[in-house]
Chain A
């Protein structure tokens, strides 16, 4: 049986041993279950609403949403590029608004609706119109930045479903593409907007 890194991480998380999967990342933070709590500070165990599901998860106080999504919940579609709010790869929707998940403390989004790239597809694995458009237009080269771009575009289309190319460029201006593929990316995202208007 071949063991990919992704399946390994998912397997460990499914086994309920989030602590061991994350230990290499969270070293230096003290023992995972040994973090003391001052009176009045937040509870470590919290419920997150991610992609329509309520997930119970043990979250360090200093943990960012990108870390929680990737290493506690196994949602590795959200990428970490710069971890500095400077690249956009980690963009997710929080209450329909695009945010850099690397720059959000997970504890600050308790009770809010989080949607990641994994949450876009419809029942039966039907791609979201923007995802389908990216496939149709072959919008990306290496596509590391794709989840961030798609989430930023989906968020922007919720407030402006019929953007001009310039407006959409402005809306995804907080995302970088190292392949410099911006023209094709914009074309595919615009096509996605068109697909969305057709389906609604």
Chain B
């Protein structure tokens, strides 16, 4: 894959300074347009010549998409804010530390310096058959190359697969879901639409060629963190092959409030196991009102993996996910596990 041939094929490059101007270019070029945020996901596609856009729209010059601001007692993070800026922001550190952990677990320092949180939640699937340009379901074809008897599918889905077995690669996604983050979208018509992080991601059942609710021409402009889970007890863990660069095999995020030893409220989400990051509502329902202990964690964790259907090489993800859910509920010895 990583063969240096020469520079990418030619494209037009636009650097609009407003969302409206960006959308005008997207409208003009239609399917030939490509939105560029940090560029880490995009340039792979372009260098491999799997995608050949006519026009690339760089969002880097749009000031309103950058920075972190206070809003309604919570925070509003511009979609073009880098992961490093998220990690270093004092408000994130004090109130939403789980997002800091998740963002810091992404990729490598140089990538975090450039990659944006909007790009992190909107990036495409990493399935290598898909990325290599095979005409699979996700690419508009009618076969899944990763779901055949001898396919290499160690990193693919165990839950809710529907034709495509690719998983969502975002590290910040499960953290944003447990924080009940609200995704602010500028629709192609110029209107504003706000959807919860949970609903931002779509599976193949809704649109097999997309990872998010973003319609062509729409842009994610900001992510709002409401007050709801600020300062709750958080747990985040990402399991990967190498501690740098690699995407999650499985990741888990939870936020909870307790009263004494009883779990009052909990939100829990996993990623790396399905086409979209999954909020585990059934697990939440079982855990709420129960003591925060091993017994509750075991019941909840077994429930979490119910219905899992491993492929040829990813059965390990079932116990991995079960144990991560267990830890996310009962916690682990302090500082014994860092990502």
Contacts and interface: CB of A to CB of B under 8 A. Distances in A.
Interface of A: 25-30, 35, 37-38, 40-42, 60-64, 67, 80, 82-86, 88, 91, 97-100, 103-105, 107-108, 152, 156, 170-174
B25 interface: yes
Nearest to A88: B110
B11 to A, nearest CB: 6
A123 B7 CA distance: 35
Interface string B1-31: 0101011111111110000000001000000
Interface string B146-168: 00000000000000000000000
B90 interface: no
A80 B4 contact: yes
Contacts of A99: 110, 113-114
Candidate in B36, B39, B109, B113 with the most chain A CB atoms within 10 angstroms: B109
The 6 closest A-B pairs by CB, nearest first: A174-B108, A61-B13, A62-B8, A174-B110, A174-B109, A173-B244
A82 B110 contact: no
A105 to B, nearest CB: 7
Given A42-B15, A104-B114, A170-B109, 19 more contacts: A25-B6, A25-B7, A26-B7, A35-B10, A41-B13, A60-B7, A60-B10, A62-B9, A64-B43, A83-B4, A84-B44, A85-B107, A86-B245, A88-B108, A98-B109, A100-B111, A108-B60, A171-B109, A174-B109
B278 interface: no
Interface residues of B, number: 35
27 contacts: A29-B7, A29-B10, A37-B12, A40-B14, A42-B15, A60-B10, A61-B10, A62-B7, A63-B7, A80-B4, A83-B4, A84-B44, A85-B107, A86-B2, A86-B245, A88-B108, A88-B110, A97-B84, A98-B109, A103-B111, A105-B36, A108-B60, A152-B109, A170-B109, A171-B109, A174-B108, A174-B111
A64 B56 CA distance: 14
A153 B107 CA distance: 17
Nearest to A68: B7
Contact of A38 (B2, B12, B44): B12
Nearest to B3: A83
Contacts of B58: 105, 107-108
Nearest to A159: B88
- Determine the main DSSP class of B at the interface with A: mixed
Candidate in A40, A97, A98 with the most chain B CB atoms within 10 angstroms: A40
Given A29-B6, A80-B4, A105 B39 contact: yes
A141 to B, nearest CB: 21
A100 B110 contact: yes
Contacts of B95: none
B2 A91 contact: no
A42 B13 contact: yes
B43 A103 contact: yes
B55 interface: yes
Interface string B100-120: 000000011111011000000
A108 B15 contact: yes
Contacts of A80: 4
Nearest to A107: B13
Contacts of A60: 7, 10
B232 interface: no
A46 to B, nearest CB: 11
